[in-house]
Amino acid sequence: MVKCYDVIVAGSGSAGMAAAVRALHLGFSVLVLEKEQQWGGTSAASGGGVWIPNHGMKADGDSHEKAMTYLKAVSNGAVREDRLAAFVDNGSKMVSFLDEVGVRLHVLEGYPDYFPDAPGAHAGRALFPYEVDGASVGESAYTMREAPIRGKLFNRYSFGLDEAFALATKARGWRVIVGKMLWRYWSDLGWRKKTSRDRRLTMGSGLMGALRRAFDRMGGEMWMGTGLVGLHEEGGRVTGVEVERYGHRFRVEARHGVVIAAGGFEWNQEMRDRYFTLPTPAHWATTPERANDGKATLAGQEIGADVEFMETGWYIPSMIMPTIGVPNTAMTHQMSFDHGRPHSVCVNRNGERFVKETIAYDQFGLAMIEDNRKTGSSSVIWHVFDDQFREKYSSGGFMLKALMPDSKVPVHWWDHFIYRADTLGDLAAKIDVDGAALVKTVERMNEYARTGIDKEFGRGSDDYDRFFADQRVKPNGCIGTIEKGPFYAVPIVLGDMGTKGGLKADAQARVLNTNGVPIGGLYAAGNASGAITGNCYPGAGGTIGPAMTFGFIAANTIAALAANSR
């Protein structure tokens, strides 16, 4: 017998779960399909930021007009204003709904937009989840996707955003923070008998834990290890899906709609090679390995769905390092803010700077692509720093000295994944960069560190720079001298956190065919759909905010159409 649900959602990340929880709340029966054996998607492994302009959580001077001004100023490409307006109109409603069902968010005070000098920019649009007790999620907590190695201390202990910032910069009191984290973990004896996973669900885990708690309480059903492989149509309308579980294919029917929220295509090398402006290896992606393979997008295309913004990803400079304790494997580590810390500089293969290192990570990645177009030297660049940097900060997975002293770095990492030399000239020779150019670049950086003014790119000159500056470094908290040996270099690759392209959808989250006509019964949200801002990352949580909002919109659209058909 073919099973039937009111709504089928493909994908258990933030977009899919927002759609599912909203549909359940509206009275529909809901099935969520997750092809992996863990639920939560990329969202569970993320920082959990939810970027919502004019969210209404406090009277802070933001407005619909201001938000639209900003979005129209920074969005890049064939962006549709009605999609932007739908996001701004529904974002605050989505946040209020989440609070109603127990998914609580808070404003991170002062967190600037990623283009702080653009018209309509406003600090405080980035929302983050409160910490969630894993016990409140029940047994579902055991099968949620875990945070990656970079998202846990010693690959075991969960940390919140404030703790992450303190540990990343070795801020005052960081040892006390570590002590409290260890005490909370090991003193929780009852939980330790059940699992080695931390009971504290923070950042992305906190967001997804709260969503799953609401989903389970409302009676939602989830099938893990079950992937969508095709869409069924009758009379030009999607009426169900074909799924695969352990090699067995079968059909599931949907009375009112199918929501595609299965992520992007970053782990599909053929699609990357076909669409990306600068094709890069799939293993440079920093999302869960082999999870987002684009099959749901391809299923949509097979029935005539259009796609958009397929040429680009959500970029983040990253470094590759072996996985400790797992032979013959390596992982790609995000460098969200490391590349802009004081006592360091980023150079291309010519030994020259090409970007303000402190800009937001997606802009940094786009700058790598542009410099590679101009010079052919920036598909991989170099993060160069000195011993002062080593004492205070990390570079991707290469942790600061207090956590990873040089003596503890495996011998086979040196001059393969991490480079070290007593002089800049020797370092340049090791990394095959022009030595004279690198020395001149560092000399200029040292002068900027002394004056506090970066005459080339203005490092430390805007609110975003200053928000992440190290106030211990004077006169400019974004620039420090690079003069104390030994000197180090880490290769930075053009990593990504997913793809910006996917199924083309309208302001009601309905998937459009190649003639611009909505395909009945088919909806899309998150990275499975084209980014509403095109080739632009507007602020912290700029993927999850629109993803959840359009998941929410999809459920509302399904409900409205169902009511009209009665």
pLDDT at 304: 97
pLDDT band at residue 1 using 50, 70 and 90 as cut-offs: low
Q: Is the pLDDT of residue 566 over 70?
A: no
Tens of pLDDT, residue by residue over 376-420, are 877 799 999 999 999 999 999 898 898 899 999 999 999 999 999
Token pair 């919140």 is at which residue?
160
Q: Cβ(441)–Cβ(489) under 8 Å? A: no
**pLDDT tens string 292-346:** 999 999 999 999 999 999 999 999 999 999 887 778 888 899 998 999 999 999 9
* Residue 52 pLDDT grade (very low, low, confident, very high; cuts 50, 70, 90): very high
Q: Is the pLDDT of residue 195 over 90?
A: no
**pLDDT computed for residue 169 by the predictor:** 73
The residue behind tokens 């703790």 is 163
3-state secondary structure of 83: helix
Q: Is the pLDDT of residue 30 over 90?
A: yes
Q: How far apart are CA 566 and CA 560, in angstroms?
A: 10
Q: Which residues, 6+ apart, have CB-to-CB distance to 162 below 8 Å?
A: none
pTM: 0.94
pLDDT at 565 over 80: no
| Least confident span in 52-66, 250-264, 518-532 | 52-66
Mean pLDDT score across all residues of the chain? 94
Per-residue buried b or exposed e for 407-418, using 16+ beta carbons within 10 Å of the residue's own CB? eeeeeeeeeebb
Yes or no: say if 30 and 221 are a contact pair by the CB < 8 Å rule.
yes
Average pLDDT of the segment spanning 27-50: 96
Of 557, 350, 286, the C-alpha closest to 549 is 557
What domains does the chain contain, in order, with CATH numbers?
A: 1-243+267-312+500-566 (3.50.50.60), 314-496 (3.90.700.10)
The predicted model gives 33-59 an average pLDDT of 94
